[in-house]
Amino acid sequence: MDDGSTFIYRNSFGGTWYFDENDPYNNAAQAQSWNPALNATFRYGTDKIRGVNIGGWLNTEPFSSPALFQPYLSNSQPAVDEWTLSVAMRADTANGGISQLENHYKTFITEKDFAEIAGAGLNFVRIPIPYWAIETRGSEPFLAGTSWTYFLKAIKWARKYGLRINLDLHALPGSQNGWNHSGKLGTIGLLNGPMGYANAQRSLDYIRVFAEFMSQPQYRDVVTIFGIMNEPQGPTMGQDALSRFYMEAYNIIRTAGGTGAGNGPFISLHDGFFSRSQWVGVFPNADRVGLDTHPYLCFNDQSSSPMSSYATTPCTSWGSLVNNSMSNFGLTTAGEWSNAVTDCGLYLNGVNLGTRYEGTYQGSTSRVGSCTPWTDWQNWDSTMKTAINTFALASMDALQDYFFWTWKIGNSSVSGTVETPAWSYQLGLENGWMPKDPRQAIGACG
């Protein structure tokens, strides 16, 4: 690896790696025997996307990488998003200042993770990336440009192990949703408010830069999907404004790469929290456009029902919706989903915002119970692990083409352990509640 250490690549699925420093753009690697090598055609809608997000890495958020934020929670302006984290780190010169973020990039995800992902039977990674991977302007405190260096490493690692990449633009100027993972918690300033259209134009400029990059011959067979905006708050923006933005972005991307298979990326459009049916017919005759949905159960009404009671919930809740969308719109992916059925977990709703389950979240009306049984994974018994595994398999079968959120959850610096276990694919593999072979999901919904 980059630091000189070594590891053993274990892949029981016939995957083959390839790396030759004299032939750095060779795409012969194959993640598993049943998946097309990078130099072969991936048939979207026929070949299944079995993917995982690499969250909390290049686009940080408190619940995925809590140890980054915890040293600054007692500040007068606590670190609750990457904006306030960046401000706090820049002031903390004694501990390395903003360079602490680059150390996180170096250590949180490495080549070994990509090897393990291929070895887990997965064939895609969705990598959230912020606009400041390109640049910052004015008083924006983010570390500009550095995360892009590590995205280039991700391409190298993905190419080596035969993994395809979905580059997801997770944070856009002004914030597309006002949530912490958009870079700045608070108001929505994209397609909304006095700077809404200026921020939209700036976002389109960045989309052009990303599109021109990934359309180059040496990258287009590795970075094959472009998610142009993560979780925009469509009801605030309005579907018409969001649709027009999507069409502008579509034209920019197709101008950069051309039309037809192999020319530029497959374009992934988040549903904006509108129903899937509301997008049918919006982009007639568009070239390689898919709809992205994020089906989470945990942010809905909370229940004290045991994990085993959710065994068929993905099948009954999502199966027919996905089938209908695949028929009426086209490729429909679950860009994010998890094993969580409650909102229990450290900072899951945001820093110190509590949980619905324990009745401590703003607007909660009652306490359902203690979160401990849902987060104390070291004490989960075989019944709990089997129930989670059953839920995961049902989710995979119902969603068909998916990216689990997320590959890795970082340890809390306070407890020294993962406190949101239902969200970590890696932890589940290591401890027996995630399937060793995602193909086991075939037929789980009957």
Averaged confidence pLDDT in the chain: 98
Give all domains of the chain, ordered by start, each with its CATH number: 50-441 (3.20.20.80)
Q: Which of 61, 336, 358, 419 is catalytic?
A: 336
* pLDDT tens track for 25-41: 999 999 999 999 999 99
Active-site residue, 212 included: no
373 vs 392: CA distance, rounded Å: 18
Task: pLDDT band for 400, please (50, 70, 90 cuts).
Answer: very high
Summarize the confidence of residues 122-149 as an average pLDDT.
Answer: 99
Model pLDDT, residue 178: 98
Summarize the confidence of residues 332-338 as an average pLDDT.
Answer: 99
Please determine, for residue 3, whether its predicted confidence score (pLDDT) is greater than 90: no
Model pLDDT, residue 195: 98
- Specify the amino acid at residue 359: G
- What is the SS3 string spanning 224-250? EEEECCCCCCHHHHCHHHHHHHHHHHH
Kind and range of the H or E run holding 289: strand 289-293
Model pLDDT, residue 382: 99
Taking alpha carbons only, the member of 354, 390, 394, 388 closest to residue 373 is 388
Residues in the chain: 446
Summarize the confidence of residues 182-190 as an average pLDDT.
Answer: 98
Please determine, for residue 364, whether its predicted confidence score (pLDDT) is greater than 90: no
CA distances from 325 to 36, 173, 238, 277, 293 (A): 25, 30, 21, 7, 11
Kind and range of the H or E run holding 197: helix 196-214
| % of the chain beyond a pLDDT of 90 | 98
Please determine, for residue 196, whether its predicted confidence score (pLDDT) is greater than 90: yes
Share of the chain residues as helix, strand and coil, in percent rounded to the nearest 5? 35, 10, 55
Task: pLDDT band for 60, please (50, 70, 90 cuts).
Answer: very high
Q: Which of 82, 111, 231, 419 is catalytic?
A: 231
Q: Are 150 and 58 in contact (CB under 8 A)?
A: yes
* pLDDT tens track for 144-157: 999 999 999 999 99
Summarize the confidence of residues 192-209 as an average pLDDT.
Answer: 99
What residue spans of 258-302 are helical by DSSP H? Answer: none
* pLDDT tens track for 260-282: 999 999 999 999 999 999 999 99
Kind and range of the H or E run holding 319: helix 313-328
213 vs 288: CA distance, rounded Å: 18
Model pLDDT, residue 365: 79
Model pLDDT, residue 2: 85
Active-site residue, 231 included: yes
* pLDDT tens track for 104-116: 999 999 999 999 9
Please list the residues that pair with 291 across neighbouring strands: 269, 332
Number of H helices, E strands in the chain: 12, 8
pTM: 0.98
DSSP tag of 374: H
